[in-house]
Structure 1
């Protein structure tokens, strides 16, 4: 059995929040860019909002398993 990957959530200088393998400088696994307008509304909570979005993707769905069922797919659909 392989060791689990160690991931980190990092806020970049431009405000983008990324998920990447720990200590990696390569391409991020996931990135969240919050518009300037939304950032103004969030004030100092930009990182916390992005972190919660990433947490939801990892823990509340099967996104990383690739086994997402139809009910879970429709929950995240925006109409």
Structure 2
């Protein structure tokens, strides 16, 4: 048995995009909801943008790094 979590990115029926356990149990780990204006601007790219946001958060977060000594630079979202 392994301690590796299998996660999935899913778009819900209400348009919200979530990161959750592949088993679908419990609360999502992350929720992304675009405003109506942003959703209109992004149109079909909305899911891809959410995937990139999640990927960036995971790769820049200490939560998913294994004992890395490399510092994570703070970032600002505008």
TM-score normalised by length of structure 1: 0.79
Aligned length: 75
TM-superposition CA deviations, 1:18-52 (whole Å, max 9, x none): 00010223200001000010000001111000010
Q: Which runs of 5+ in 1 are unaligned?
A: none
| C-alpha distance in 1 between matches for 2:19 and 2:64 | 17
Please tell me the root mean square deviation across aligned C-alpha atoms, in Å: 2.4
Which 4+ runs in 1 deviate beyond 3 A?
A: 65-69
Consecutive unaligned residues of structure 2, counting only runs of 5 or more, are none
Aligned: 1:9 with 2:9: yes
Contact between 2:17 and 2:47, CA under 8 Å: does it hold in 1? yes
